Each structure stands twice: as C-alpha cells, then as structure tokens.
Amino acid sequence: MNLDEKTVKSETVYEGRVISLIKDTVTLPNGDTATREVVTHRGGVGVIAEDENGNILFVKQFRYPYKEVVLEIPAGKRDSLDEDPLECGKRELKEETGATAKNFYSLGSLYPTPGYCGEIIWIFAAKGLEFGNQHLDSDEFLNVEKIPLEKAVEMVLEDKIKDSKTQIAILKYNELKKRNLI
C-alpha cells in the first residue's frame, strides 16, 4: 500500500526564533483528508566527546520545558538550514566545553519526535581532545562534567539520563567502540 500523504493546503500559524508551527491539510492514502500540525526547526547537532582517560564530556543545564536540570552531551542548533552539521558540532563543542578535537566520526542522524516535529539531529563522536575556554551564548548557563563511558551507559540503562540524543549517542558510541569501529 502507498503510505504517502499529499499536502493540499499549508498555513504558518506561528513563526518564532527557534521554531515555527505549520498547519497543513493533507490527502491520505485512502483519499480522505486530515490536518497535520508540524513544528519546524532548522536542526541540531550533538557531540559525544571522549577524553584520553575514557571520560565523556557532558553539560548540565536547566531545560525550561521540563523545569529541571538535564544532563546532555554538548549540542546546539544549526545557525541556518545551510550550515554543515559537522561544522555546527565543532562550534558547539568548543562553545559549551572549550574543547576542540582532532578526529570526528559521524554516528548518523535521528528524528527526535517524528509525530509532530521535522527536526533532525546529527550525532558526531569526537576524539583527540584539546581544551581551551568556553564561549557560551549570553543566555546560556551550564556546567561541564566528565563521566566514564561505562558509567554513562549504566546511567542510560538506569533511566538517569533522560535526553534522547544523549542516550542514543552513548549507546551507539559504546557499541561502535566494542566493535573497534571508532
């Protein structure tokens, strides 16, 4: 069966600095129509960075939608739809942790909430770290933490790390290391 939906009408309901909300009318595979509400976002990047001692760099920051401090890998949104995800990842790693890396490896991309959001997050691993100064945005407040990879895996399995990109990055990176692919 063909599962494609065809857009008949599209309306921008809200356009903000980070997201926009689009309301579409679509034709379903059976010919009926339905409404789709889509949050658009220019995408983001997460970087799982491992130091020479086997520690992963994390950032802790307050995430307003959850009203709590969340432990995450360094990450951020692309400056534009044209920005190369790897360049964005390099920038965000440096800004948030002060680290640069000699080697980057793609861990692929993910769709964090495909039911209503078009955001794509690209994940990279970084090794060969060198440290300098952070360059946080004026509205960005975070703490950097180092956690051994094995402990980070346990934290994911024990539901102590809630952020999806961080969970996926830790588990993929750990498995690729076990297979000697990184």
- Judging by beta carbons within 10 Å of its beta carbon (0-12, 13-18, 19+), is residue 182 exposed, middle or buried? middle
pLDDT 10s digits, 98-123: 999 999 999 999 999 999 999 999 99
Q: What is the mean pLDDT of residues 15-32?
A: 96
Where b means 16+ CB within 10 Å and e means fewer, 142-153 reads beeeebebeebb
Domain ranges of the chain: 6-40, 44-178
- Judging by beta carbons within 10 Å of its beta carbon (0-12, 13-18, 19+), is residue 5 exposed, middle or buried? middle
Contact 182, 176 (CB under 8 A): yes
- pTM for the whole structure: 0.93
Q: What is the mean pLDDT of residues 51-80?
A: 97
Residue 138 pLDDT: 86
Backbone dihedral region for residue 48 (phi beyond 0: left; psi -120 to 50: alpha; all else: beta)? beta
Task: Write phi, then psi, for 123 (nearest 5 degrees).
Answer: -115, 135
Considering the segment(s) 44-178 as one domain, its CATH architecture is Alpha-Beta Complex (3.90)
Q: Taking 90 as the threshold, does the pLDDT of residue 1 lie above it?
A: no
Contact 156, 171 (CB under 8 A): yes
pLDDT 10s digits, 132-181: 999 888 888 999 999 999 999 999 999 999 999 999 999 999 999 999 99
